[in-house]
Structure 1
């Protein structure tokens, strides 16, 4: 099917209705490529199921606007449905919040902004919702670093209710295992209880000072939490092993290595089995391009709680912010939805920033 490009609501529903669960984005990527191909002002490139469209107008500044095509699995919430809400039309369905609303705005503007004041690289990528190793943006950076080079700012269109969310938290997950000696619970003195030993680890988690950290004018909150625990063999056996999984969400004043070193020191009596470690991203709101973006969008920027691919741009030396339609609290929900007014607001703000002195065709 050809994507309708003359009506924002119709385009949004068409994008949503193309099922694109992670690793199955080919059909939507084909449509994105076809929708942007053949336009005089855009060069369209492709790597797997990632599509890049960029202007090459010789502007003194280049910016990136990015969004992922994939969604989490469908849960009986496709095709899309429309309802009337207090603020206007609402579209319901898988991906409406995370993040096909953002993808729709990107397509809408990429076709129409034929003479932006800044050169723009539009990136539509795959496999964001699954393991980091499969991430399409990471693959683009590895295979085609020149496709993402030279930008002064990246805008990731994750759902933020059309408000700027700067940077993101880093995240680290690790296991700690305590060991004991199995015995019959009627003769517990013959064994050693590994679950009891885990109490010291949990106490250490609770003792960590999870305060507020100001970075580039935004206040981030950190968190250290035990998120999973398992141990024991049977109700009458003293457990000889217990394992807890701990998640550290750290502010962007720390590098990933610094976060790892901090946790290693904090849990110095135990061995940490690191499951994943993803860096945080500084907001970079003091950068000129970011300041211009804030001025165009308006409102008070807030910190991003959670990890997003702005961290990947930050690692490349590109300041990045999150800005997109829909409430992030509805991402992955069965009743996922997005107000069309959020799409309108994001499109208007991006147009003000990208083309303040040029027509929107």
Structure 2
């Protein structure tokens, strides 16, 4: 297999690692590329502070106000989700309306870069805005059931013969020592990159509630700036295939406290009902589970680059924060491109 390693190791089994493995399979379907995923946590695990992917909302809504490299990741991913939702409804991905409101204008331009991508953006009529909101836009994106989607990605890998091992590593060099024949390692450790030796890059709380008897007609986000303070906002994300409804949220940089905050939970319920009155009264919400999760964000955005270490190629792909799902396929495509370029081979996905 000219210019491609015979063996690749992917460290991490969150949405980034699993998507990267699937992208490798798509890129080189006829090769004898051997792929191994090693991770402390695998789909089905529920560690709230080490395994972030199952704790995600999750939905697709770009954080980028202009078309840049991160917006490109979102675009590639959106286009892939269209195909997955159409061909594999069991994946836990479903096309679904989204309403985004704010105290300020959430449409930063008359024609946001994603308007054509999502099939159009409409202004929310003033009479339909929740109390305190000044602007709003309606669009159609995607909602997810993260647990089902992670299992779906994982099942595709198992069917293709990818080896999956449960192991924990404190240093990137230990991975290379355990797999001496692997000539490339993808570092998809997410939050673990903060403490992984040889990397050490240090650069919310939600509620799962029962689904209402009358299904919600849309997802909803109250963006910042909001009425709720500089670090708090609101979102309501129904999950397909019996996944309940996730409501949140909070975003505080460099906060690693795992403690559940009951007062925040009460505010979360009140804001969710303000944002989506069809949920009913806050005191009537049926709480299934309290989540305290961490977003694997990185100052300056996601790190996707290549380095050589001890004769092997390491491709870093982590630090995307709350955009893990909506950027996943675009990030994976870029990471695999970098490996192919590093090894002098070009291939089209």
User: TM class, shorter-chain normalised?
Assistant: under 0.3
What is the TM-score of this pair, normalised by structure 2? 0.28
* TM-score (norm. length: structure 1): 0.27
Q: Which has the larger radius of gyration?
A: 1
